[in-house]
Amino acid sequence: MDGHAVHPEETRITVVLNKPRGVMCTASDPQGRPTVMHYVKDLPARVYNVGRLDYDSEGLLVMTNDGELAYRLTHPKFKFDKTYSAICNGALSAEEKSRLEQGVMLEDGITFPARVEELHHLQNGNTAFNITIHEGRNRQVRRMLAAVGHETLMLRRVALGPLRLGSLASGSHRPLTEEEIAALSHISANPFDSDITN
């Protein structure tokens, strides 16, 4: 119109991907390792990962071309809970669990208190549990467990704020549910809520 080209607005696409272990959260990898882009190449528009899961971790990863949504999901002021299903080597003691829940000192400062739930000591001597953190530091859960003397054997993100991994198969993606869209819309309308966890 008026001599100016009109470009159609790109359709906003957001999916939840169950990132497999051994996959990079990058568009490409110079070493030729698989990346998350392989798992969303069927989508009608290019999307990008919101935040990261390290190479050895798996689970819930948001992929979107919606810059505003990506901002809301990553900016510290929104304080999204991040819940992981984890297995560590050895028996996680009550004292070590308490340290995680009170906050542990890492090289980049003390962590916010975590929630450790559904703790089970496995027959092989290792420990399975869920841990919820409120920050997004690099490899944070692994470093927290190392700080209390344990190696992380498995780490799967199962929830991010109102988003849930559920029974989504590894390597598969799904669109957001109506409930998730409504929850994220609420966050958009209330950007200065003090804490958003569900």
Q: How sure is the predictor about 2, in pLDDT bands with cuts at 50, 70 and 90?
A: low
Query: pLDDT for 4-56, tens place per residue?
Result: 554 456 788 999 999 999 999 999 999 999 999 999 999 999 999 999 999 99
CA dihedral 17, 19, 20, 26 (to 10 degrees): 130
Q: What's residue 76's pLDDT? A: 73
Catalytic positions, please?
Answer: 54
* Structural domains present in the chain: 14-76+162-189 (3.30.70.580), 81-160 (3.30.70.1560)
Per-residue pLDDT, averaged over 80-106, amounts to 97
Q: Which residues pair with 58 in a beta bridge?
A: 156
Whether pTM > 0.85 for this model: the answer is yes
- For the cut 60, the answer to whether the pLDDT of residue 66 exceeds it is yes
Alpha carbon distance 72, 57 (integer Å): 23
Contact 85, 158 (CB under 8 A): yes
Q: How sure is the predictor about 187, in pLDDT bands with cuts at 50, 70 and 90?
A: low
CA dihedral 13, 14, 16, 17 (to 10 degrees): 50
**DSSP codes, 20-33:** PTT-BSSS--TT--
- For the cut 60, the answer to whether the pLDDT of residue 194 exceeds it is no
Q: Considering the chain, what is the average pLDDT of its residues?
A: 90
Q: Say which amino acid occupies 21.
A: R
Per-residue pLDDT, averaged over 63-92, amounts to 90
Alpha carbon distance 18, 58 (integer Å): 7
Ramachandran quadrant class, 103 (left: phi over 0; alpha: psi -120 to 50; beta: rest):
left
